[in-house]
Amino acid sequence: AATKLLFLAIKNLAEKWKRPPKDWTAAMNQFAILFDERIHAVRN
């Protein structure tokens, strides 16, 4: 649960940044592998 909260907090902060953080795509892909159902639930 803590990892999910961290992910969502970073995601919310990233929306405010003018450019995405380095390696965000790689991190997002790793989160998608680990938390596939949760990420799809948040996106929908």
pTM: 0.41
pLDDT of residue 42: 75
pLDDT of residue 44: 64
Q: Provide the residue-wise pLDDT of the chain in tens; the chain has 44 residues.
A: 888 899 888 888 877 776 766 788 888 888 888 888 887 777 76
Q: How is the chain split into domains, by residue range?
A: 2-40
pLDDT of residue 20: 66
- Token output for 14: 């990233």
The alpha carbon of 27 is separated from its chain's Cα centroid by a whole number of angstroms, namely: 7
pLDDT of residue 16: 74
* 18 sits in which H/E element: none
